[in-house]
Structure 1
Amino acid sequence: MVEESSKKIAIIIVIGLLAVLSFFILKSFIVSIISGLLLAFIFSPLYEKIHKFTKIRHRGLTAFLFCVFFLLIIILILWFATPILLKESFKLYDSSKNIDFVTPLKKIFPSIFESEKFSTEVGNVLYSFVLKITNSISLAFTDIILNFPSILLNLFIIFFTFFYTLKDKEIFVQNIKDLFPFSKDIEKKFFDSTRDITFSIIYGQFIIGTIQGIILSIGIFLFKSPNPLLLSLLAVLVGIMPIIGPSLVGIPLAIYFLINQNTVSALGILAFTGIASISDNLIRPYFVAKKTKVYPPLILFGMLGGYSFLGLIGLIIGPLILYYLIILLELYKNKNLS
């Protein structure tokens, strides 16, 4: 009995050591691997439909063609969009140096900005804040050019993971289920809950946020905003963020047009910002299951924490980890894990 317990402990220690070593071996590529897994989850329904439609016998061939097509689209977007975005980010940085923040504020709040000293201090704070943001944006796009070989390597790992997860999805899912330490009933409840919440966060938050950003982007191009491609990208990114939404780009842009005495464009941008915000209520029911409770503050905290920990992919992983923990706690609360 003692010998059997010692063997079990030894096996656990060996598995633990190998798991730790595996983590350090894969540490540099964890974000890319997770990205590949998420892409497989997002595009798995589309892949299954294409595989059924094309009637290709081998899943591997369908998965390979699907991944190659997807990779070509990503490379083409990066190839053509990155130079334009880089140019626009530098233009935005240069133009931000010449913005007069104080004069419009004096007109709107004359009593508050009576003191010249106070006006100067507020102007310096706003100038410094805007300059830091625009400088960060410029550096981000510069890093893409400088780190292009590293980006290509990570793209390869992402699509390598993407391909094999699409190809062997059933085997992959079954292996995870086999490792699950609870009963079949609890296993089903957990996987059903995690599937629903994953769909709700990925499709409900990211797809809807992207649509909201695109709606505002139409207004940005329509009213001939400066640096339209860069602002459109920012609109999509902030559109994904819960609570905040595309207004974080739309309102400052409208203020910019007002400062430049372009009232029509300012009102137009505000109108598109309003449409983008309202569209959330119209689109969400098509993507989010009614039985799934998604709390915007929790998603926001998960995104912010996930971003600081894992970078861009953390915007998705952060909320998912928090919700998976909540699902396990709810199962435990209902005595289902015992």
Structure 2
Amino acid sequence: MSVSERDIRRLITFALVLLLGISAFLILKPVWKSVVGGLILAYIFFPIYKLCLRYVKYKNLAALIVSLLVLALLILPVWLFVPTLMREVFDMFQSFNEFNAGSAVAKMFPSASEAFRTQASVAFNAAISKLSSEILNFLVKFIIDFPILLLNLFLASFVFFFALRDADKLAKFAKGLLPVSRSHEKSLVKQFRDITNSVLYGQVVVGVVQGLFVGLAMYLFGVPKTLTLTLIAIVFGIMPVIGPSFVYIPVTIYLFFTKSLLASLGFLAFNLVLASLFENYWRAAIVAKRAAQSQVVVLISMLGGFLVFGFLGFIIGPLVAAYFITLVRAYKEGTLTRIFTREK
């Protein structure tokens, strides 16, 4: 069986595309998180870029202004608060090592048997030892990886600038890659845009702001280690179901035992009012008329995304899950085949 010249050209073309694809994957693999992070930030701050472009008129200058603004928002807190954060984490490490589990168990369970107290003390000490080890490993890893973090920040800023400036070209290019019919293109793009807005603005941005307000409340009520607890509140604020209550409820109990009933009730009321405002008004206004996802699905996809992609997985996980559910829903409705059939 003879092989035609046309078949040989096709084989060479396929091999070349495959080789270049593998090479591109290997090149982008070490830095893909920075690239994706820059694109996500560009999407979040694109409305600010459009507003700036309305007054500046020059795309390069508008993108530069917004890029410098975002860099300031990222670098200044690090510059101002990292020394305090490191000190707070180190103090927590020392406090864990000095913690007397036996006396704490005796105070919590005064009428318990001696055997129970011993077992509980051993369990507490094991948990504290594990937590102390994790904190120490975090500090060491942060110091070692700091130059790499700076490099990733520079790359993400580079991607952020060009993603803002060339947003129209990127959108047109992405639409051209979609293997969908023109009649379904606008509908599918709108669904994906609504999903992205719902996750990024309704879940991530609202969660970050909510965590910051919890930190403000802790600062006003004189709670120690405010910066560290604020970062924890931000992380849990992004997560549905759990929310920043994971932080402010234990802090309320702490204020009750260390300060007064009035202080603990005031702190709790402050956070409950804010939580109600964020959940019932801001988040609802963003998600309204958009692709609202099940809170359980968002939580599971966030945790799974974190285990696979790190902190970036808090965003990537829910997006992937939501896009997948959209396609499954289209398959169930019998429209998936028509969506991915190009019109001639």
Preserved contact between residue 67 and residue 160 of structure 2 (Cα < 8 Å):
yes
Preserved contact between residue 85 and residue 141 of structure 1 (Cα < 8 Å):
no
**Are 1:44 and 2:42 counterparts?**
no
After superposition, the Cα gap between the structure-2 partners of 1:103 and 1:277, relative to the gap in structure 1 and judged at 3 Å, is farther
Q: Which residue of 2 aligns with 1:210?
A: 208
Query: What SS does structure 2 have at the residue aligned with 1:181?
Result: coil
Among 176, 179, 198, the alignment partner of 1:178 is: 176
Query: What SS does structure 1 have at the residue aligned with 2:243?
Result: coil
**d(CA) in 2 for partners of 1:142, 1:73:** 25
Among 6, 16, 19, the alignment partner of 2:18 is: 16
| Alignment gaps of 5+ in structure 2 | 338-344
Q: Deviations over 1:156-178 (max 9, x none)?
A: 11011101111111111111111
- Report which stretch shifted further, 274-283 or 32-41: 274-283
Preserved contact between residue 47 and residue 66 of structure 1 (Cα < 8 Å):
yes
Query: What SS does structure 2 have at the residue aligned with 1:248?
Result: helix
Among 49, 53, 56, the alignment partner of 2:55 is: 53
Q: 2:64 corresponds to which letter in structure 1?
A: F
How much has 1:139 moved relative to structure 2? 3.8
Q: 1:178 corresponds to which letter in structure 2?
A: G
Q: Which residue of 2 aligns with 1:232?
A: 230
Query: What SS does structure 1 have at the residue aligned with 2:336?
Result: coil
Query: What SS does structure 1 have at the residue aligned with 2:289?
Result: coil
Among 222, 241, 244, the alignment partner of 2:242 is: 244
Give 4+ residue runs of structure 1 displaced > 6 Å after superposition. Answer: none
**Are 1:332 and 2:331 counterparts?**
yes
After superposition, the Cα gap between the structure-2 partners of 1:73 and 1:107, relative to the gap in structure 1 and judged at 3 Å, is closer
Q: Which residue of 2 aligns with 1:126?
A: 124
After superposition, the Cα gap between the structure-2 partners of 1:335 and 1:114, relative to the gap in structure 1 and judged at 3 Å, is same
| Alignment gaps of 5+ in structure 1 | none
TM-score by length of 1: 0.89
Query: What SS does structure 2 have at the residue aligned with 1:290?
Result: coil
- Report which stretch shifted further, 199-208 or 90-99: 90-99
After superposition, the Cα gap between the structure-2 partners of 1:277 and 1:100, relative to the gap in structure 1 and judged at 3 Å, is farther
What count of residue pairs does the alignment treat as equivalent? 334
After superposition, the Cα gap between the structure-2 partners of 1:10 and 1:193, relative to the gap in structure 1 and judged at 3 Å, is farther
Preserved contact between residue 233 and residue 244 of structure 2 (Cα < 8 Å):
yes
Q: CA RMSD in A?
A: 2.5
Preserved contact between residue 252 and residue 265 of structure 2 (Cα < 8 Å):
yes
**Are 1:149 and 2:147 counterparts?**
yes
**Are 1:254 and 2:252 counterparts?**
yes
- Report which stretch shifted further, 179-188 or 248-257: 248-257
**d(CA) in 1 for partners of 2:184, 2:166:** 24
Q: Which residue of 1 aligns with 2:80?
A: 80
- Report which stretch shifted further, 145-154 or 235-244: 145-154
Query: What SS does structure 2 have at the residue aligned with 1:306?
Result: helix
Among 218, 221, 236, the alignment partner of 1:220 is: 218
How much has 1:179 moved relative to structure 2? 1.2
Preserved contact between residue 38 and residue 159 of structure 2 (Cα < 8 Å):
yes
